[in-house]
């Protein structure tokens, strides 16, 4: 459960929206290419022969070598990039440098593809590429194989998987690339993806713009329309929105809607990704996501050596968190935190800092007994007894920020520090499974702090009473946190643990007509930070799972394996051909400079 925000943030910064509207999402440039403007520093073009090129400006103070490292992860590409850019010797911040697709790091390849083909979808089993013929000629299977698998020769397997005769494609054709062929970056995205494409038609009536969705057999208005298409998950929001949509659609009884019935959803209620491609909020959302995708964790730490893991069990003390049919959120997430800590200490070399500790030690995890969360305190100096849950949350992020400062004072890096907050949600009963919140950049504040009274008595607050964030801090946090969230979703999927059916990773909470990032993430300075809602206590199946010891142990294992994967896996198991080329991805190497 996430506590309601006292600091609502407007949905779209007006100045930013104006800027985005001034730049069309797709247009031809002087070379006759099609160009997508991801940000003011980053463009992606596709030209004759379906050659994809990324054009970027350096960041302030970024030299040529650092620039090349950032985009290609391979210093050996310098010569070729120079020759393709008329021998540019010095980077100037007003000159765009072009980098061909095949030289790009996997991460930038994914940005290029997602910018050019925003309608592509993926669903946990593969990637569906919609042929767009952006250069006037449909892209060939060879090209598609090259883009998504790194090797054009894989066209054969793609052709077989799709039952195709020809190497040519047609505009609008869907080409499926099986999961096992995908480059790891596309595979990660597919494994974390929500689900298949939802067919919507758009129209306008006297009440404004709407999307039409035809209900399929076995689908209900609550889950198939409201939860999936509008992003609402809290019972009161889902019920209210379902009633509004039913009225708009002429439905008198939501329990007896015929199959194929056309449900009308106002476009303003749709989550950005379901809006028409020219919708300004959708364009802004996609650009924001692509901008953040530039930031990935480049640190490799075999068995988490040198990694500091800040582990936060939600609630505790007098704060039970969600309480449904006698099942207290705080009790089971505290037990879960104990399990995560035990596994990390047993199987990895990470150092673990718990934000909250009960006065009794964690058990051995083998009995049904769970530690008593009622004596839990936030481990500030001195500890805080959790009399006030809101102060409890503030002390947790102050503590996390203090841990990060200590890591940096010892010469460690923010890139080797991770924050995970564990919760269980109380949502509409139709919703179930894991949801992971990440800090959406547009919901962060540039500075924040508490002072006086209670706060003045804690060392962690006195050390640094105000926290400040730049735009770059925000997009880096969103990017690396999404990558961590993808690893967690992927680990849950591999362990067959339930996931939220439609959108397991969220950059903000939507509730009561407002949107925000939970405070524990909003003011936290550790870049890779997530709030994990392991399940929904209002769903009876999820509730049964949470009280079961074996489920909690599996969840703890999934979280630990996600962390190991985030830092490159166990001893090179996940190191790919491309990564091997890059000396900086050797175990325990320092992190590359992020953009």
- Contact residues for Zn ion, defined by CB under 5 A: 1, 314, 321, 423
CA separation (Å) from 518 to 249, 380, 498, 531?
Answer: 34, 20, 23, 8
Min dist CB 384 to Zn ion, Å, is: 17
- By beta-carbon proximity to Zn ion, the closer residue of 190 and 505 is 505
Nearer residue to Zn ion within complex by CB, 302 or 519: 519
Q: 4 or 83, CB closer to Zn ion?
A: 4
Residues 6+ apart with CB under 8 A from 25: 36, 37, 277, 278, 283
Tokens of 108: 């930038």
Place of tokens 């439905």: 251
What count of other Cβ atoms lies within 10 Å of the Cβ of residue 468? 12
- Min CB(9)–Zn ion separation in Å: 20
Whole-number minimum distance, CB 2 to Zn ion, in Å? 6
**118 or 314, CB closer to Zn ion?**
314
Q: Give 411-441 as a DSSP string.
A: T--GGGEEEEEEEEE---TT--SBEEE---G
Strand partners, 529: 419
Cα dihedral sign, 511-431-254-277:
positive
Q: CB of residue 4 vs Zn ion: minimum separation in angstroms?
A: 12
Distance between CA atoms of 550 and 558, rounded to whole angstroms? Answer: 12
How far is residue 150 from each of residues 24, 52, 253, measured CA to CA in Å? 30, 13, 52
CA angle 75, 413, 337 (to 5 degrees): 125
Least distance to Zn ion, CB of residue 389, Å: 10
The upper half-sphere exposure of residue 7, i.e. CA atoms within 13 Å in the direction of its Cβ, equals 15
Least CB distance to Zn ion at residue 553 (A): 20
Closest distance between Zn ion and the C-beta of residue 566, in Å? 23
Beta-bridge partners for 206: none
Q: Comparing C-alpha atoms, which of 343, 363, 299, 369 is closest to residue 558?
A: 343
HSE-CB at 305 with a 13 A cutoff on CA atoms is: 10
Phi, psi (rounded to 5 degrees) for 409: -65, -30
The rounded distance, in Å, linking the Cα atoms of 64 and 365 is: 52
> Which residue lies nearer to Zn ion by CB, 183 or 336?
336
Of 198 and 547, the one with the shorter C-beta distance to Zn ion is 547
Nearest-approach distance from CB 3 to Zn ion, in angstroms: 8
Indicate the residue among 321 and 433 with the shorter CB distance to Zn ion.
321
Q: Give the nearer residue to Zn ion in terms of CB position, either 306 or 321.
A: 321
Q: Least Å distance between CB 518 and Zn ion?
A: 9
Which helix (H) or strand (E) is 141 found in, with range?
helix 141-149
Decide if 559 contacts 420 (C-beta within 8 A): yes
Q: How far is the CB of 228 from Zn ion (least distance, A)?
A: 23
Cα(25)–Cα(495) distance, integer angstroms? 39
Pick the closest to residue 418 from 533, 520, 566 (CA basis): 566
Q: Rounded to whole angstroms, what are the CA distances from 214 to 128, 191, 194, 198, 421?
A: 22, 27, 19, 10, 38
For Zn ion, give the closer residue by CB, 414 or 542: 542
State in angstroms the smallest separation of the CB of 426 from Zn ion: 8
Phi, psi of 52 (to 5 degrees): -95, 135
Angle value at C-alpha 96, between 90 and 102, nearest 5 degrees: 100
Nearest distance in Å: CB 533, Zn ion: 7
Q: Give the three-class secondary structure for 98.
A: strand
* 97 versus 422: smaller Cβ distance to Zn ion: 422
Closer to Zn ion at the Cβ: 99 or 509? 509
- Residue 314: CB minimum distance to Zn ion, A: 4
* CB contact set of 550 (below 8 Å; sequence gap of 6+): none
For residues 134 and 434, which CB has a smaller minimum distance to Zn ion in the complex?
434
CB proximity list for 467: less than 8 A, separation 6 or greater: 397, 401, 447, 448, 449, 523, 525
Question: What's the min distance (Å) between Cβ of 329 and Zn ion?
Answer: 5
Residue with the two structure tokens 């059916």? 501
Query: Which residue's CB is nearer to Zn ion, number 1 or number 307?
Result: 1
573 alpha-carbon distance from chain centroid: 23
By beta-carbon proximity to Zn ion, the closer residue of 221 and 422 is: 422
């Amino acid at each position: 459960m996430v506590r309601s925000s006292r600091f609502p943030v407007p949905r779209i910064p007006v100045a930013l929206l104006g800027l985005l509207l001034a730049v069309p999402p797709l247009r031809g440039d002087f070379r006759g290419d099609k160009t997508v403007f991801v940000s003011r520093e980053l463009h992606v073009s596709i030209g004759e022969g379906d050659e994809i090129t990324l054009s970027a400006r350096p960041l302030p103070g970024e030299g040529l070598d650092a620039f090349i490292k950032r985009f290609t992860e391979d210093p050996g590409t310098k010569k070729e990039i120079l020759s393709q850019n008329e021998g540019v010797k010095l980077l100037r911040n007003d000159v765009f440098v072009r980098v061909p697709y095949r030289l790009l790091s996997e991460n930038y390849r994914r940005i290029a593809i997602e910018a050019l083909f925003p309608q592509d979808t993926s669903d946990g089993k593969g990637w569906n590429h919609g042929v767009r013929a952006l250069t006037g000629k449909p892209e060939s299977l060879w090209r598609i194989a090259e883009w998504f698998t790194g090797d054009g020769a894989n066209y054969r397997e793609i052709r077989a998987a799709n039952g195709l005769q020809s190497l040519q494609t047609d505009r609008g054709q869907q080409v499926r690339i099986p999961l096992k062929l995908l480059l790891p970056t596309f595979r990660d995205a597919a494994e974390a993806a929500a689900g298949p494409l939802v067919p919507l038609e758009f129209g306008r009536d006297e009440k404004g713009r709407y999307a039409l969705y035809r209900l399929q057999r076995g689908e209900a208005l609550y889950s198939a329309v409201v939860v999936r298409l509008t992003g609402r998950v809290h019972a009161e929001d889902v019920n209210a929105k379902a009633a509004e949509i039913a009225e708009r659609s002429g439905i008198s009884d939501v329990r007896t809607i015929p199959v194929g019935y056309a449900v009308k959803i106002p476009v303003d209620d749709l989550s950005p990704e379901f809006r028409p491609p020219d919708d300004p909020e959708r364009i802004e959302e996609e650009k924001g996501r692509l901008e953040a995708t530039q930031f990935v964790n480049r640190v490799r730490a075999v068995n988490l050596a040198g990694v500091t893991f800040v582990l936060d069990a939600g609630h505790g003390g007098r704060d039970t968190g969600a309480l449904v049919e006698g099942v207290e959120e705080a009790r089971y997430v505290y037990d879960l935190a104990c399990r995560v800590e035990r596994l990390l200490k047993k199987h990895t070399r990470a150092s673990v800092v718990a934000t909250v500790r009960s006065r009794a030690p964690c058990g051995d995890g083998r009995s049904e007994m769970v530690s008593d969360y009622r004596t839990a305190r936030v481990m500030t100096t001195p500890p805080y007894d959790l009399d006030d849950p809101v102060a409890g949350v503030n002390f947790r992020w102050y503590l996390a920020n203090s841990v990060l400062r200590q890591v940096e004072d010892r010469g460690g890096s923010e890139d080797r520090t991770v924050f995970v907050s564990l919760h269980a949600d109380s949502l509409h009963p139709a919703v179930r499974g894991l949801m992971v919140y990440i800090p959406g950049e547009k919901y962060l504040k540039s500075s924040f702090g508490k002072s006086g009274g209670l706060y003045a008595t804690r060392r962690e607050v006195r050390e640094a009473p105000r926290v400040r964030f730049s735009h770059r801090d925000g997009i880096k946090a969103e990017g690396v946190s999404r990558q961590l969230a993808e690893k967690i979703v992927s680990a849950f999927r591999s362990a067959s643990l339930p996931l939220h059916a439609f959108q397991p990773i969220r950059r903000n909470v939507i509730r009561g007509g407002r949107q925000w990032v939970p405070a524990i993430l909003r003011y936290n300075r550790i870049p890779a930070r997530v709030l994990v809602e392991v399940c929904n206590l209002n769903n009876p199946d999820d509730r049964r799972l949470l009280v079961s010891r074996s489920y909690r142990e599996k969840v703890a294992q999934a979280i630990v394996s996600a962390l190991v994967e985030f830092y490159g896996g166990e001893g090179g198991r996940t190191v790919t051909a491309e990564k091997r080329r890059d000396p900086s991805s050797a175990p325990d190497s320092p992190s590359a400079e992020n953009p």
